Structure 1
Amino acid sequence: MERWVIVNPAAGRGKVGRLSGAILQAARKKGARAFLTEGPGHATELAQSAPEGARVVAVGGDGTVHEVLKGLAGTDKVLGVVPIGSGNDFARMLGLRGFPWPEALERALLAPEEAIDLGLVNGEPFGASLGVGFDALVAKKAFAAPPFLRGMPRYLYALFGVLKDLRLPEGRVWVDGEEVHRGPLLLLAAMNGPAYGGGIPIAPMADPRDGLLSVVLARAFTRPGVVLILPRLLLGRHLSHPQVVAYAGREVKVAFPHPVPAHADGELLPEAALYRAEVRPLGLKVVGGRAAARGAEPLLRPAGAS
């Protein structure tokens, strides 16, 4: 099996760039081909160039993973992740958070593979999350956040920046062909994983291996209402709110009278008035924490161990 490592030096607000020399060297010592991306879209091109059956490791955050995923979707290639980004929600979904990068790289290159569900929205693949409406506006605002803000602080900075111009569009939502909502809609989240926005547990019930998208709708909210639900949202206790409803299904459609922003894995999509999301059960091969945990031997031995 060929192993390719794709390193995005811009990820993690430049943190990956500072580590890139050491990462490239470590990857090549393990027999992998290692590449630095040169700009937006390059990670997708590299992933597409990898041979069938290759293991392709994305080094960066959710944006890097999303680009690599676009180059792997629909193939027999395996996605590995070294999470050194601002959000890392895809890695969180796979149980890969908290490892030092050398161990994360070792796991991504050598640990067993497993399968998770693959999401598609208007033909665009996604791994962990799809957000339509308010949270996509927040994602757009987050790109302009100060460089020292990462993860959840960055998300909250953007959220309060968007709140001052809050206007809810009228939306219609169908889950597996049944209309479940018609009226003002703050946001729709269709999730493979439990979190987006750097750890916001929007769908704590989501399972990336159940063949379903977990759908959360936030219906009519005022500005004060959004602020008041935030503490519950950060604790994953928002689903009991009367204006929040949850569903699960294989296909989700949401329609608006005019184009509304959306994001997939935190990356902004072309604005559209209609979004159709579906799931391909176990349609993506990954190196995740569950399969790695079943291995009989640790991947890295303590110093001095035989």
Structure 2
Amino acid sequence: MSSFTTFVINPAAGRGRVGQMLRQLETTIRQHARSSNLQITITQAPGHGLEVARSAPAGSRVVAVGGDGTVHEVVRGIAGSDKAIGVIPIGSGNDFARMLGLHRFSLEAALQTALHGSVHSVDLGLVNGQPYGASLGIGFDAAVARKALSAPTFLRGMPRYLYSIFGVLKELELPTLELVQNGQTVYQGPSLLVALMNGPAYGGGIPIVPDAVPTDGLISVAVAGAFSRLGVVGILPRLIVGQHVHHPRLHFFQGTEFTARFDRPVPAHSDGELLLPSHTYQVQVVPGGLRVIRP
């Protein structure tokens, strides 16, 4: 593997926290890297991180400094290549870092891991042909992700997600879903949300599919069926601690390929990044399709 390392720093991540840390970050990176085979790029706009990751040298390490949005761009930029992604988790959710066991690392520990950790492979998700790393959510949770964009800046992680949930409950209107797994319909009916996961958690640590494993070659799926507003409020305490899995209106599946069809365009997000609403989402897994840096 190449000794070259590219740092992709998103100053907007963590509601601007990364931007406030830029001088500290650059100084710390250069102190620990001690190498001329180093590039530090401060992203200027959405999509810049993807282009930086895509143009990084073959076989190199590309380190996302920020949150899941920054990670998502790097994942898209290196998917299908021999490059590996490292993460310095300074975002408001950090669910990809959580999937890799990095979310509680200090800045220096995360940096040491990114520079010197081992390269492993995890599964890569594809939604309508586009890569994602940890999570894909369709329906209610995507509306929540959109609402989170306007949440108070002091809210981070799960509190931000919960604030947004209550903000969209008043507009609840369930679409009808047909979920097809490898050509066979496994669910049909009203659906609050569908989560198609590589990792167990999204929304800043909510364990929507607690048993999901990013190295098993499978997409782990949770379908929430016909929930009322009161039902959503009732399931939240159980959902937060991962005790929702036996609820009769929650359905779980695993497989290599799924198609989610709706009776109207439904919003979605991959790794927290909003997608254009669509009637149909085709999802598949690429086993071991993403190289990652872990301790």
Question: Which whole-Å CA distance do the structure 2 matches of 1:251 and 1:191 have between them?
Answer: 12
Of 12, 19, 22 in structure 2, the residue corresponding to residue 20 of structure 1 is 22
3-state SS of paired residue (2:16):
helix
2:56 corresponds to: 50
1:102-251 mapped onto 2 (5 Å cutoff): 102-251=108-257
Question: Which whole-Å CA distance do the structure 2 matches of 1:23 and 1:5 have between them?
Answer: 10
3-state SS of paired residue (1:12):
coil
Q: Residue by residue, what CA displacement relative to the aligned partner does 1:47-79 show, whole Å, maximum 9, x if unpaired?
A: 011011010000000000001111111111100
Question: Which whole-Å CA distance do the structure 1 matches of 2:181 and 2:205 have between them?
Answer: 25
Q: Residue by residue, what CA displacement relative to the aligned partner does 1:167-213 show, whole Å, maximum 9, x if unpaired?
A: 00011001222101111011100000000000000000100000001
The aligned amino acid for 1:19 is M
Question: Which whole-Å CA distance do the structure 2 matches of 1:166 and 1:179 have between them?
Answer: 25
3-state SS of paired residue (1:255):
strand
TM-score, normalization: structure 1? 0.93
Maintained 8 Å contact 1:28/1:34: no
Question: Which whole-Å CA distance do the structure 1 matches of 2:271 and 2:114 have between them?
Answer: 20
Question: Which whole-Å CA distance do the structure 1 matches of 2:26 and 2:286 have between them?
Answer: 33
* Cα displacement (A) at 1:26: 2.5
Maintained 8 Å contact 1:114/1:285: yes
The aligned amino acid for 2:124 is L
3-state SS of paired residue (1:46):
helix
The aligned amino acid for 2:26 is L
1:244-259 mapped onto 2 (5 Å cutoff): 244-259=250-265
1:89 corresponds to: 95
Q: Residue by residue, what CA displacement relative to the aligned partner does 1:205-237 show, whole Å, maximum 9, x if unpaired?
A: 100000001000000011100100111101101
Structure 1 segments, 4+ long, off by >4 Å, are none
Determine whether 1:69 maps to 2:87: no
* Cα displacement (A) at 1:27: 2.2
3-state SS of paired residue (1:106):
helix
* Cα displacement (A) at 1:252: 1.1
Maintained 8 Å contact 1:130/1:263: yes
Question: Which whole-Å CA distance do the structure 2 matches of 1:155 and 1:273 have between them?
Answer: 25
Question: Which whole-Å CA distance do the structure 1 matches of 2:273 and 2:197 have between them?
Answer: 14
1:267 corresponds to: 273
The aligned amino acid for 2:197 is M
3-state SS of paired residue (1:108):
helix
Q: Residue by residue, what CA displacement relative to the aligned partner does 1:242-290 show, whole Å, maximum 9, x if unpaired?
A: 00010100011100122100000000011110001100000100012xx
The aligned amino acid for 1:42 is H
More strand by share: 2
Question: Which whole-Å CA distance do the structure 1 matches of 2:29 and 2:11 have between them?
Answer: 15
Question: Which whole-Å CA distance do the structure 2 matches of 1:53 and 1:25 have between them?
Answer: 25
Quote the RMSD (CA, aligned, Å): 0.8
Maintained 8 Å contact 1:213/1:249: yes
Of 32, 38, 42 in structure 1, the residue corresponding to residue 44 of structure 2 is 38
1:300 corresponds to: none
1:266-305 mapped onto 2 (5 Å cutoff): 266-288=272-294, 292=295
* Percentage identity across paired residues of the two chains: 56
Unaligned 5+ segments in structure 1 are 293-306
The aligned amino acid for 1:197 is G
Question: Which whole-Å CA distance do the structure 2 matches of 1:256 and 1:226 have between them?
Answer: 20
TM-score, normalization: structure 2? 0.96
3-state SS of paired residue (1:245):
strand
Unaligned 5+ segments in structure 2 are none
